[in-house]
Homo-oligomer: A and B are copies of this chain.
Amino acid sequence: MNAETITAEGHHSERSFLANLLRMRETGLIAIILVLFIVMSFASPYFLTWVNMRAMTMAFAVEGIVVIGMTILLISGGIDLSVGSVTALAMVIAGWLFLNGVDPWVASGIAIACCTGVGAIMGFFVTRVGLHHFIVSLAIMVIARGICLLGTGGRPLGLYTLPPEFKFIGQGSLGPIPLVIVIFVVIVVAFDFLLRRSTMFRKVFYTGSNERAAAYSGIRTKKVVFLTTTLCSGLCGFAGIIYMARFGSAQPTFGIGMELNVIAAAVIGGASLNGGTGTIFGAILGTVLLSVVSSSLALLDVSVYWQDIIRGSILLAAVAIDHYFHKRTR
């Protein structure tokens, strides 16, 4: 045992940039995505075009916002199956209010607040009543969907009368770059930074890693879990509003099955279902991976019946490779 006492200067100094990169949680994932990009750019001349990149990014940008909320919630030790329903709920509430004469910005604010409220209700059942996130969010998923249906009579709301400056959120561009992508990147960078650096979010890691030890460190773990649950629903609400601006409609059935996609992205990106680990950067890479696979299959015009099989296999392979990478470098 030659480990000197406190040899730990290691991380900042001696190790090289490359060594650090190799030890990073996300390296395996980046490698997989790179391989995919290289293969695809040979397979299809359209793949590496600006327009295709833009379209691919647009396809995951809004869902990516939900992935952020889910990742933070997973880190704190929770899970949320209701993300799809809550996203739809935001669309429906805002759309309904707008159709009833409320200013769309105000309507959106109210909708996001309602979604946050739904998160607070889940948080209440988890932290105060003591139920498991899985089952609470499952119930809320069903209830929120019911409210969507009730509020719309099951019919999509057509919102083409939304003012253009509102639609701009979802459809506009800043120069060549769609606003949606700008919003997405800003949120990702902000949350990635906060999660890595802020004391506030550090408590999320402590809580998810060992709730009792966190409580014994004076952290209000219930409050932390309550807040992450609420944040996740709030981000869903925000995503719902962007979807509404983008598609100009509010669909009560929007987002069915979204939860599995979102959780898969976060997990591929290194978030643990047992809490305590995960990064925003990784989760977004997970989203990118899943999305690139889907887009590539479409671009190559793979038979629909094969697509599921290929997507599932790539998902499995990605986590397996990543796991192997991570185990080796640690």
Residues of A with Cβ closer than 8 Å to B?
Answer: 81, 125, 129-132, 134-136, 138-147, 149-150, 153-154, 260, 263-264, 267-268, 272-273, 304-313, 315-316, 319-320, 323-324, 327
Measured in the bound complex, the distance between the Cα atoms of B139 and A310 in whole Å is: 10
Check B146 against A306 for contact (C-beta < 8 Å): yes
Q: A125-B320, A142-B308, A146-B306 are in contact. List 12 more A-B contacts (CB 8 A).
A: A130-B323, A131-B319, A132-B272, A132-B273, A135-B267, A138-B260, A139-B312, A143-B309, A145-B308, A146-B307, A149-B304, A154-B305
Chain B residue, CB-CB nearest to A317: B139
Q: Is the CB of A316 within 8 A of B136?
A: yes
CA of A143 to CA of B313 in the docked complex: distance in angstroms?
7
A142 to B312, CA, bound (A): 5
Tell me the smallest distance from the CB of A297 to a CB of chain B, in Å: 11
- Which B residues are in CB contact (< 8 Å) with A153? 305
Whether the Cβ atoms of B309 and A135 lie closer than 8 Å is no
Copies assembled: 2
When chains A and B are docked, how far (Å) is the Cα of A130 from the Cα of B140?
A: 32
- Interface contact A309-B147, CB-CB below 8 Å: yes
Provide the bound-state CA to CA distance between A264 and B137, in Å.
Answer: 11
Instruction: For A315, give its contact among B138, B154, B319 (CB under 8 Å).
Output: B138
* A264: nearest chain-B partner, CB-CB: B138
Complex: how many Å from CA A130 to CA B326?
Answer: 12
Cβ 8 A contact of A130, one of B145, B264, B268, B327: B327
- Residues in B whose Cβ lies below 8 Å from that of A125: 316, 320
A129 touches B320 (CB 8 A): yes
Question: Chain B residues near A319 (CB, 8 Å)?
Answer: 131, 135-136, 139
B315 touches A135 (CB 8 A): yes
Contact pick for A305, options B146, B264, B273, B316, CB 8 Å: B146
Residues of chain B with a CB closer than 8 A to A131's CB: 316, 319-320, 323
